Structure 1
Amino acid sequence: MSYQTLEVTKEKHVITVTLNRPDALNSMNGQMIQELRDCFTSLLNEKDAQILILKGSGRAFSAGGDIKAMLANDGSFEMKTIMKQLEELALAYYSLPMLTIASVHGAAAGLGYSLVLASDFIVAEKSAKLAMNFIGIGLVPDGGGHFFLKERTGIPGAKHIIWQGKMMTGDEAHAAKLIDQVAEDGTLQDTTNALVKHLSHSPVEAMISSKQILHGTKMDELKSVLAEEAKVQTNLRTSEDHLEGIDAFVSKRKPFFNQ
């Protein structure tokens, strides 16, 4: 299967999925969301691969949802369609019969961060910029962001991270138990490769089986969270706070929320 916004390669038992809109900091437009959904769904029946690496091309992992696409009003970012695709994307990624590694450099924000948090292992450079920053444009996390963040931090921690929306470095995110390993700047590829090598010499089949058992107990909860995110996000898209947040983002000023 060929993609316009992704690069997918396979070497022995390792699949690498690279977000490939570098000129847009790999922000996720409608096409990328659909292609990620299609890619992960196609891999649900993959028999040979045991490890998947998810990374971004260029200067960032992903800056999150594509604000320009959201503002274009050309039908390419129709909210109900996008939320349905995000639901299918998140469920497929969480269900993959392989170990998933997010390899993060630069920004991993918003929807991009939700995808990172859905991974089994997260490796990020010290200077990475990780932010669950939906609050800045008057929205809530989507792509399962509430669920994946809560799984890492518990509900109290998840609430405060969502409400603050602040950016964390790799070191700060590691201290908050939001990522698993910090790589020195410029060593992300080597650090990721070392993790893959370590996993390759581990009883991967047993590890994947444990993943499937544990994730299987959480599927109904994830589905419920995704349904609530879709409902709330669709409603918030027309709120005064969201419109103010978007205008402030485009104008590069501080938003003034009054709702």
Structure 2
Amino acid sequence: MRTDFQHLIVQRQGGVLTLLMNRPEVLNAFNAQLLQDCIEAAQAAAEDETVRCVVLAGAGRAFGSGQDLSFFKDPLSEDAGRDHLQHYHRLVQIIHTMPKPVVAALHGVATGISLNIALACDLRIAADTTRFSEGFARIGLVPDGGGAYFLTRLVGLSKALELSLLAEEILAPEAERIGLIHKCVPLSELETTVQALAQRLAEGPTVTYGLIKRLVYAAPDGDLSTIFALESELQGQAIQTADHKEAVAAFLQKRPPSYTGQ
């Protein structure tokens, strides 16, 4: 995949691909170019079988401060607003359906659309000083980028409404307590913690991880019979993978498995 993006730094370490949003002078606020860079890189990562885990992070003092508000200096028509959102929807959909784990590494602030893109990731690890806010109500907008979808599933309807209506900041320990993030750690430990988790995932059964994502994300919207059917379909695929066969052989031979991601 290409690495010469204007506002995105692409780093590769084994099976782990890190996408580092790089507009630090504006706390990685999204403009059209950063959004396009993220879409292109995320799509390439999703399609590259040698990439087995993706990390999304922000350069400088923050993960991301949301949409660059200079975008709104001229009023948008209703149609232009909808067209603008389609690009965010595409990025969120790519992350959410990527057939491999995606980890968000959060520090500084994660607000507005930046937060909601992080919510589309599978796991979120944050520095304990990170501040989170939906923020949209403060500028007269509704949460976008799938924010309402992910919030209600992660923290429940009541807390999702509270976060959206009041648009107040919460710190990482509270975000961990309510289930908004997976884990918070001291800022000095964030990079090593994220890399250790990403490397662990990259050494795991990648195809199975993709199937697990499909099953778990479908569960809240399906009845039990529907989930039974999907479970059977996906287990049928998982049982045919080389990694499943390797895991069984390793168990019988009393040795650690060596997964290839196939």
Distance 1:160 1:73 in 2: 28
Note the 1:215-254 alignment, pairs <5 A: 215=217
Note the 1:61-76 alignment, pairs <5 A: 61-71=63-73
Distance 1:198 1:41, change over 3 A: closer
Q: Is 1:170 aligned with 2:179?
A: no
Note the 1:1-259 alignment, pairs <5 A: 1=2, 2-71=4-73, 78-215=80-217
Distance 1:186 1:105 in 2: 11
After TM superposition, give the deviation of residue 176 of structure 1 in Å. 1.3
C-alpha offsets along residues 113-137 of structure 1, whole Å, 9 cap, x if unaligned?
0011111110001100111111111
Distance 1:28 1:186, change over 3 A: same
SS of aligned partner of 2:11: strand
Distance 1:158 1:191 in 2: 28
Counterpart of 2:253 in structure 1 is none
After TM superposition, give the deviation of residue 99 of structure 1 in Å. 0.3
When Rg is computed on C-alpha atoms for both structures, the one with the higher figure is 2
Unaligned runs of 5+ in 2: 223-262
Distance 1:191 1:40 in 2: 22
SS of aligned partner of 2:73: helix
Distance 2:105 2:64 in 1: 11
After TM superposition, give the deviation of residue 109 of structure 1 in Å. 0.4
SS of aligned partner of 2:156: helix
After TM superposition, give the deviation of residue 172 of structure 1 in Å. 1.2
After TM superposition, give the deviation of residue 74 of structure 1 in Å. 11
Contact 2:62 2:110 in 1 (8 A): yes
Q: What amino acid is the match of 2:19? A: V
* TM-score of the aligned structures, taking structure 1 as reference length: 0.78
After TM superposition, give the deviation of residue 97 of structure 1 in Å. 1.3
* TM-score of the aligned structures, taking structure 2 as reference length: 0.77
Q: What amino acid is the match of 2:209? A: M
Task: Name the % identity.
Answer: 26
Q: What amino acid is the match of 1:62? A: G
After TM superposition, give the deviation of residue 67 of structure 1 in Å. 0.8
Unaligned runs of 5+ in 1: 221-259
Contact 2:16 2:202 in 1 (8 A): no
Deviates more, 1:208-217 or 1:46-55: 208-217
**Over aligned residues, Cα RMSD in angstroms?**
2.2
Contact 2:52 2:201 in 1 (8 A): no
Matched positions, count: 218
After TM superposition, give the deviation of residue 185 of structure 1 in Å. 2.2
Contact 1:95 1:215 in 2 (8 A): no
After TM superposition, give the deviation of residue 216 of structure 1 in Å. 5.4
Distance 2:46 2:206 in 1: 17
Distance 2:218 2:120 in 1: 14
C-alpha offsets along residues 20-75 of structure 1, whole Å, 9 cap, x if unaligned?
00001000011112222222223332211111000000000000010123216799
C-alpha offsets along residues 77-108 of structure 1, whole Å, 9 cap, x if unaligned?
x5333211112111111111110100001010
